[in-house]
Every structure is written in C-alpha cells, then in structure tokens.
Structure 1
Amino acid sequence: MSSRRFVCGLDVVLAVLGGKWKLLALYHLAHGTHRYAQLRRAIGGVSDKVLIQQLKEMQADGLVDRTDHHEVPPRVDYALTPFGRSLAESFGPLCEWGTRHEAEVERVVARRQVATAGLPDAITAPGTRAAR
C-alpha cells in the first residue's frame, strides 16, 4: 500500500479539514472549551448527525479532545489539542480576508444563485456540476 503524496501545504490542511463544518468547529474551539450543545449553537445550521461525525473525525485525527464527565444528564466537553490549536492559529488571515471581502462574496453568491435558479436539483446538487 502506498502512502498519499500531498501536492502542497494546503492539500495537507484539506486532508484534515475536509467537511463543511470542521473549520467552524475548530474556530469556535480556539476560543475555549465548549460543551456539545454550546458548540452546535455557535456553529448553527449543522445537524447533530453531521456535527457528531465530524467531531469524531477530528478526535481521531488528533485535533480535538473529547471529555465525557459520565454524568446524568450527559456532559461532554470538546477542546483543541495542541495539534488542533496549531492549525486554528492559521485561521486569522482567513478570517481577515473574509471580513474584508464579505460584501463582494455576498454579491458572488447572489449571482451564483440567480445563475442556477430554475435548473433541476439533480444538476445543481452539491458536489455535481451544472450542465451548460
């Protein structure tokens, strides 16, 4: 079995950050330990199933620690590991870029929505290419 060869540093980052919600989870955990429900509210828009799956993946990858306090009702805390914190420290420039370009990105997203309006869902589903 051959090991994966990364193309560049960004490819390495994407290997551990694949998944829509991981970046946001790490961002919020960079500001301190969160209980599960607190983290889910902070992220917003993510289902329990998906968030739990992505937290498990980040735990397996060594980015996140999960502490189960074995209490009733259940209390579980999530925190960044030193490895996860080192990754989260790189988010500053991305956050600055997003803040600087928020209005422009909103226009881009609006144009994209207009361009794909009326196309069948099967063509515009996430991960597929719209037929032209």
Structure 2
Amino acid sequence: MTKYPLYYEEAAHILRVLTDCGIRLNPVVPPHMILLLVAEELERIVGTNPSHAAAGAYLVQGLAPALNDDGRRRKLNAIAGTLIGNFLLTCRRPAPPLKSEKLGEPGVAPRNPSASEKSKVRDWARWG
C-alpha cells in the first residue's frame, strides 16, 4: 500500500483548479510527482505560516516558471493565494497534546454516558 503525504488530496484539488484556470504543467514531469511536490509545499506552508499571497505566488512560480504574461501571473497568484487561504482555514492539523500528556500523566479515559443522557440524545435526535 502506497503512503501518500498528509495533504495529497488538497494538493490535487489546488492543482486541478489552477490547471482549469490556465496554468500549464511541464509535460515531461509525471503528474504524480507534481502532486507530491505541491503536497510537500502545503506541509511547509502549514509549518511556516507565510501570507496567502506570498504562498500563492511561490506555488505559481514553482509550477509555471516560464509564464511571462504579468496579468495572467497576477490572476493565477490571486487564485492560488485564495486556495491556500481556504486550505489553511480547514486543514487537518495534528491535534495538540492533552494537558495531562504534557505533564507525563496518563490521559483521562472518556466517561460512559448514563442512560438518562442517552435518552436525552435520542429524544433530541428524534424531535430536533
């Protein structure tokens, strides 16, 4: 089973939108390698937290270094920056450790709900 990078699906979505907007990828490089590079770039962006505009411009520069049209580059930079901003708002960041785990204590096990709590949940689900 192949292990994909953490943000592989998000990279595929961003790359698809950018290619639909007119960015042309290098035909010599296999598409899965481009996806891996974009996914690794998203991991770097999550770690360093640059501005959306800077991250979008860096991504477009990496994907289309030969793009000479300034108007088109600015449009693609804006689209990539927006996509990265949306990604950062909804990305699956690793959860921070629990307070008890920071202190070296074992975590607290979740409690079992009582029968009355279960019936309240069932009633709420049934009647809204």
Please tell me the TM-score bracket, short chain as reference.
under 0.3
Structure with greater strand percent:
1
Structure with greater helix percent:
2
